[in-house]
A and B are shown apart, each in its own frame.
Chain A
Amino acid sequence: MIRFDGVTKQFPDGTTAVDDLSLTAPTGKITVLVGPSGCGKTTSLRMVNRMIEPTRGGISLDGQDTGRMDAAELRRGIGYVIQHAGLFPHRTVLDNIGTVPRLLGWDKKKVKDRSRELLEVVGLDPKLGNRYPTQLSGGQQQRVGVARALAADPPVMLMDEPFSAVDPIVRDQLQDEFLRLQDELGKTIVFVTHDIDEAIKLGDQVAVLRVGGTLAQVAEPQYLLAHPADDFVADFVGKDRGYRALQFEHAPRLTLHSEPSVVVGETPSSRASWLLVVDDDRTPLGWVEPARVGDRPVASEDLHRGGTVARASGSLRGALDAALSSPARRGVLVDNDGVLVGTVRAHEVLTAIEETERPERDEDDPVHGGAMDVSGERG
């Protein structure tokens, strides 16, 4: 558990980067610090491993005041993923990963083995191990940065915009892998981002900061979307927050319809206006219009690929998007192995949405109340 206790940081030039921040990052959970550029996220994060010393207040780690610990030793016990990776250009990927174990005095063989193991953990090809950072793509560098932070298996991780330097597709993939990894490892993580979508996707708890370094609200993502504490948070969370909140609502209660389908390479027998095409494993590939295909086998070029596919065990957001994006107006749902289970129509998803309960507003939430006070004081 990491505890910020009335932490303020004022730089020598007079800038107040963080103002009276009190916050607890629970053990084994991901706490996301989110806010616009310059709101003090990085400063807050770097005060945990004492890369920056607080002006006032203190930070404790499992009840121990970090201010009393040896800074270098403290840092070796905390995984730190630096913005833009911050790899050592003169070291190979494996040597970068093995940095902290080597500082801790592990023997060479153990360091090498551990570094190789981590290469795999973060999903990198083992043959990249002997490359240098300049020979890697941005996404690969970020993975090496994560591997380096994980190397000595620290219980606490600090991550500063680790996925911001990569394109959206790679970012999405890195986020998914990160969540999967965290499921296994259960680290206490403080994660910094300026991207509210990322915050909501990754956070067990999300702390919204405003410029000037004050805490605007801290809550679970669902709660944040349902009950923004003030205009600033509401604005920051965004206009489509109602839609995005659906990602936390699970879809299983939906009644599915069975969907006629044709295996790719076979001739459609149905006269329907849209027919679903699957492969030999019954994984959906796309839709075809039998009228256009005629009497020949369905080829890959015939497929309309506009529709998204959602997992039946996933969220209402995914199911709704599948229905809305489908040319047949029927959203395709699959099981966890990607096998077709059925389809659902948008109005059925909407009915399910209307029947779900939204998170109750908690009037006693101390941080919530605190945030209101702060915004009152400062106008």
Chain B
Amino acid sequence: MIPSILEWFRDPMTWSGPGGVPTRLLEHLWYTVVTVVIAAAIAVPLGLWVGHTGRARWLVSVANSLRAVPTLGLLFAVSLVVGPYIPGDLAFTAPSIAVLVLLAIPPILAGTYAGIDAVDPSARDAAKGVGMRGRQVLWQVELPNALPLLLSGVKSAMLQVVATATIAAYLGLGGLGRYLIDGLAVSDIGEAAGGALLVGLLAIVLEGVLSLLQRRVVSPGLTGRTARGSQDGDDAPQAEAPADAPVDVRG
């Protein structure tokens, strides 16, 4: 199997033209990013609202149960039912993207909600206590504290979409999934496995990019990833020592 993969990778045809790796990779990346951005635009505000107000928590459970719907079936069902009403190329891409978005929403919604829900109640209380209004509490305290879990949700949505977009190639979405379908169709193990390998690589790279983003936007105060000025972070005895130690004066 490995020789045939290498052979596929060495073939110049693999790298050129509309069916070449660069084009397919960009297609795949494009669908993934568009899907995750749309899903986040829906799920993040919804999760923030549910978490902040504590209302409609059932939304999160419903979204989670959506994960059990078989993606492939939904994909075909949607494109069969809706496809005919949509003109041109969009007939294939729009339903596929819609299904992928549906797939990406639950992890982001759950992550956002869990992030807000996990905010230290004393921080939220302090926010109100110093005179923040509802929105200020949300933007200045709840959201920054929810970011680690929120971004974890985005990350897992992203990985899921990268993997599932492969299947969407069945419907003409293009992307790296084409290599799997075409390869399997003509029993070219090298092409199929090579395509799968590329999907995996893309997933790893995207995961890395998101982790970098996470490091940039999440406060060091939350991750424990803080640059310590000195060694006395947890306990600073010199700062706490009584100023006038030798004199024990009462009253």
Contact = CB atoms under 8 A, between A and B. Distances in A.
Interface of A: 49, 51, 72-77, 80, 82, 84, 86-92, 99-100, 103, 124-125, 127-128, 130-137, 139-140, 148, 169-170, 172-173, 247-248, 283-285, 308-311, 314-318, 321, 334, 338
B115 to A, nearest CB: 12
B239 A127 contact: no
B247 A134 contact: no
Contacts, number: 132
A76 B229 CA distance: 32
Given A90-B144, A92-B221, A135-B226, A51 B128 contact: yes
Contacts of A77: 131
Nearest to A279: B246
Given A318-B250, A338-B244, A90 B222 contact: yes
B221 A49 contact: no
Interface string B224-251: 1010110001111001101110111111
Contacts of A169: 240, 242
Contact of A309 (B127, B239, B249): B249
Given A82-B125, A89-B222, A309 B251 contact: no
Looking at B122, B236, B250, the one whose CB has the most chain A CB atoms below 10 A away is B250
Nearest to B239: A125
Contact of B130 (A148, A309, A318, A321): A148
A173 B249 CA distance: 11
For chain B, give the interface size range: 35 or more
Interface string B110-138: 00000000001011011111111100100
Contact of B249 (A72, A75, A139, A314): A314
A283 B226 contact: no
Nearest to B248: A308
Contacts of A248: 251
A370 B163 CA distance: 75
A71 B139 CA distance: 19
B20 interface: no
Contacts of A284: 246
B249 A135 contact: no
A100 B130 contact: yes
A89 B120 contact: yes
Given A127-B229, A308-B248, A90 B130 contact: no
A205 B45 CA distance: 49
Contacts of B102: none
Contacts of A135: 226, 228, 233-234
A148 B127 CA distance: 12
A72 B140 CA distance: 15
Contact of B129 (A51, A92, A173): A51
Contacts of B144: 90
Contacts of B123: 86-89
